[in-house]
Structure 1
Amino acid sequence: MLIQFLNNEVIHFYSKMIHSIIHKCCHSKSLPPECCAFCNGNGPETLLDICFDYILTNLHTICEYELHYSENLRLRENVTLPVEICERLLYLRASRGLRLSPRFVSIFRDQLATKLKRVKLYNTDIDDDSLKILLQHRLISLDVSHSPLLTANSLKYITAFGGNLTSLSVGDNMNLFPASLFGQPYVIDRDYIILAPRLRRLSIRNSEILRPEFYMLLLKPLLNLTHLDLSNCSDLGDFHYILDLINLTSLILYNVNKLENLIPAICKLKNLRHLDISQSKDENGTYENPSKVLATIVESLPRLTSLDISGTNLAGSGVAERTEDCFGPYASDIPGLSSRVHNKFQFLGLYETQRGACFRHDIPAKLIAGNANEEQVLVAALAYLDRSDMLPRTRNKF
């Protein structure tokens, strides 16, 4: 019995060792495991995914027409779907390029048989009436970016049914926020664009036709915001209206024009932990006295753990500046960051910075997005996954 026990233990030991050798991954330790396809595994399609595929191509298995003369669908009698199934069904329908027609969305009209909490419909053909059906589930998260059929009418539905919304992404929807919005009674008679008292995350991207008055009116009632993304938005004015958002911890201003005019207001947001003022347009990334501007930002925002200055000249010339504090002399090859040598950033974006800042030494950051080596490129690819206008330049270097 003892020999058998020892044999079992030896077999168990070697099987564990072999398993660890086979499954050992060599990705950089500084990169999180969830970014590695090897660590996450690339197994075969699950049975659940196969079932979803079948249902999406054979809707009659769970649905029937509401009426004989109607094209709208509803679930069959005694069929009830939990929130996880409903959200996955909707997401897969959208992500695989199938139409989000009113006929399909009508399945979710019955709020007793279907449940929705988080809806992500990136780049779809959903319209106002279909969005209203989904919003009536009192969603907590909604992403309808790149949905060209949505109009300003959807703003009314977001206000009417968005009391539970904590995250809203409506980027790149020109018809949702048309230039004539201020001429409509919906806005003239009210002092808000949308009302969503619990909203904490808001993303509006690629809106180049809107004026500062719009952003002022939009943000005025959204005092609980902690994350704001205004990438590729133009004409933000002097940005003083942002100061009312005292809970803001993340601000993304990627490719915003005339950013130097916004710096004084940004420096007053003392709770900021993440700031992105990166550029892919060379003409917008040049500052006068760049090192001084960067030092002002960093010293004014002591809680920053993540900073992105990619595509700008804010990293300066690369000549290290030595300073002295209670810890003794210290220096950084990015002069504006010399105050952070003993308090490194968790993330620093230096991709395509002028004068090749990502190639320098003594950079006070644990993770760097750049193009100096493979690890920096991988970090950049992860950080800029949704920025097709930024990353293609990497192909010329590797």
Structure 2
Amino acid sequence: MYQTERQLIPIKFRHKEERVPESLFCLCLKYVARNLDTLCTEMNNGYTLHDGLALPSEICEPFIETYQSNGGEIFDRFAHLFKDVTKTNLRSVHISNSSITDDGLEYLLNHNLYELTLTNCQNLTHKTYTNIFQHAANLRSLTIGPNVQITPYNKLSPSPLTLDDLPSKIYKKAPNLRHFVLRAIAESPFSNDNIFLGIILDKLTQLRVLDLSYCLGIGSLHYLTKLTNLHTLILFDVPHLQNNDAILNICSLQSLVVLDISQTETFPDQGVYKEENKILALIVKCLPNLMSLDISGTNLAGKGTAEHSMLESLSGRKSDIPGLEYRVDNPLEFLGLYHTQHNACRRHDIPAKIISGDANEEQIFNAAASCMEKPKLLQNILNDLYHLLRYDQCTQIDQALDIVLEALTRYVKEKLIQISGSATLFYIVKNKDRPLLLNDITVKRRIITTLLTGMDYHNYDETMMRNGCLTLCQLRIPQDVMFEFKRLVQMLLHIVSTSDHEGFVQRIGIYLLNSVACQVNNKQKNELGDAGAIK
């Protein structure tokens, strides 16, 4: 690589921002999120604001975020709190790991949102898809993530929608949509080219960002050619891009600045191109504005062997990636090389300022930051990070903690990420630099809350319980965990009662429970007794 100093993708996760004393506003939000009765009353049809209360968007949106980040789930009865648009105001809504249904989400859609993100909301149906566009006059950004089965032809939906069921002018009701993420849609049954995608994109020509990760049956992508203003195109884990002229149609998008055609190596032939050097060269020649390119998991970086070239660099620089020799004097800002074939990330002359891979700590951090939306890859990257920490080869514990907390917070339901992340968290908390981290009460509390949320969801997995308990043992018990006292006690009681008799996890659960019981005040001892911890 050409840079002399290490360059990292700037981490924008919230955990760094929180490393200041919490404001009174944040403390109040957390209290209300854990004590909903201070704000609302639970009626037969759901939560309703107390009489005389009204919440502006400056309160509603951080309240929803705080509620979810502290283990709360957005379900229909909670969403009912925002039914009255004269007393509540929402512009941006992000819902993940939720059991919300079409009816509950409609309470939120009635606010005519500017931004909507849905991830792991398995109870939504095609009705929501229509409802979103019926309320899309102000919508700028829409993310329909994995495990949200609401699109036409979706075989996993209880009552699949067809194009005939959609109002003919539905997409004209989203004139301001610029950022569209549509992941894991099903293959169209009627055409090699996904006619559903073609109809959508024919009407949304104003798009700047398009993410079709995991989508099947995309065909030749000829329908992209109308997106003349497209800045970013993400096609992560989209199969068969090497077929049907898909690359040629991508190359027609001369406005592209960011392109992601990375793969996870799930299938042997996925991401394997014939004449890979020529294809990569074609991409960089046809896309003159390209500054970020991710080819992780593919063979597009070539074998690294020198080839005769007619090009002469003005600077005398070379490229160990044959297809990128056109960029030696104009290096990419970012190049994704994680798990590329033939160890491309370990080569010397790479025309890029920031590189993701697994060759060193810097590349692993870059891989994690760039793959936070890619859970399949993220799981492998967390394993790489785990080995760095386990063998004391990680020099930036601060950075590692931010990455692990973000991954655990985003992917509560992904067991393998939770197991890998919690094991990594153990070595972070155990690290020799732990005083620098754990002197910050906000950081410490974020670690504990994130850990308990994962343990709650995967409470029958012995490995997850072991990782969580071992990490908690590195903290001061009970002082550090008193803010999560009830949740911790319930978790420990579950461990003690369900783990193998006299097994390691049960023994460590009993140790933690005794440590809590012996050092709390009388009121908390009564609570322990009520919970069944003391007999």
TM bin (shorter chain)? 0.7 to 0.9
- The separation in 2 between residues aligned to 1:183 and 1:41, in whole angstroms, is 45
Letter in 2 for 1:186: D
Return the letter of the residue paired with 1:276: D
**Deviation of 1:344 (Å):** 0.8
Could you tell me which residue of structure 2 aligns to residue 268 of structure 1?
252
Q: Is the 8 A contact 1:369 1:379 kept in 2?
A: yes
1:163 corresponds to which of 122, 137, 149: 137
1:111 lines up with 2:85 in the alignment: yes
Equivalent of 2:31, from 50, 54, 61? 54
- Residue 198 of structure 1 is aligned with which of 155, 176, 180? 176
AA aligned opposite 1:377: I
Is this contact kept in 2: 1:195–1:222, CA < 8 A?
A: no
Q: 1:283 aligns with which of 269, 278, 302?
A: 269
Which residue number in structure 2 is paired with residue 76 of structure 1?
Answer: 50
User: Deviation of residue 306 (structure 1)?
Assistant: 0.1
Provide Cα deviations, 1:190-217, integer angstroms capped at 9, x if missing partner: 2656841111111111224445011112
Aligned counterpart, 1:303: 289
- 2:240, 2:98 → 1: CA distance? 32
Assess if the C-alpha contact under 8 Å between 2:141 and 2:177 holds in 1: yes
Instruction: Tell me which residue corresponds to 2:339.
Output: 352
Q: In 2 relative to 1, CA 49–39 (structure 1 residues): closer, same or farther, beyond 3 Å? A: closer
After superposition, residues 27-38 of structure 1 pair within 5 angstroms as 30-31=7-8, 34=11
Percent same amino acid among aligned pairs? 39
Amino acid across the alignment from 1:338:
E
Pairwise mapping of residues 206-355 of structure 1 onto structure 2 (< 5 A)? Answer: 206-210=184-188, 212-261=194-243, 262-281=246-265, 282-321=268-307, 322-325=309-312, 327=314, 329-355=316-342
Note the C-alpha offset of 1:184. Answer: 6.5
Matched residue type, 1:205? R
Runs (5+) with no aligned partner, structure 2: 389-535
How far residue 36 of structure 1 moved from its aligned partner, in angstroms, is 9.0
- TM-fit CA distance, 1:288: 0.4
The answer on whether the counterparts of 1:205 and 1:233 sit within 8 Å (CA) in structure 2 is yes
Structure 1 residue runs of 5 or longer lacking an equivalent are 1-27
The one-character-per-residue Cα deviations of 1:13-45 (angstroms, maximum 9, x if unpaired) are xxxxxxxxxxxxxxx762255459997563455
Once the two structures are TM-superposed, the CA of residue 360 in structure 1 deviates from its matched residue by 0.6
Q: Kindly state the Cα deviation for residue 249 of structure 1 after the two structures are TM-superposed.
A: 0.8
The secondary structure found in structure 1 opposite 2:19 is: coil
Q: Give runs of ≥4 in structure 1 deviating > 6 Å.
A: 36-39
What secondary structure sits across from 2:354 in the alignment?
strand
What is the aligned partner in structure 1 of residue 421 from structure 2?
Answer: none
Check conservation: 2:242, 2:271, Cα contact below 8 A: no
SS in 1 for 2:375: coil
C-alpha separation in 2, matches of 1:37 and 1:251: 25
Change (3 A) 1:240 1:77: same
Shift of 1:59: 2.0
Deviations 1:90-129 (CA, angstroms, capped at 9, x unpaired): 2223344423233221221222221111111122112111
**1:203 match: secondary structure:** strand
Change (3 A) 1:331 1:137: same
How much has 1:328 moved relative to structure 2?
Answer: 6.4
The one-letter code matched in structure 2 to 1:52 is: L
| CA RMSD, Structure 1 to Structure 2 (Å) | 2.5
User: Which residue of structure 2 lines up, in the alignment, with residue 141 of structure 1?
Assistant: 115
Which structure has more helix as a fraction of its residues?
2
Q: Taking structure 2 as the reference length, what is the TM-score of the superposition?
A: 0.64
Structure 1 CA distance for aligned equivalents of residues 207 and 252 of structure 2:
16
**Residue type matched to 1:345 in 2?**
L
The range that moved more, 87-96 or 265-274, is 87-96
Q: Distance in 2 between matches of 1:38 and 1:132?
A: 31
- Corresponding residue to 1:362 among 327, 332, 349: 349
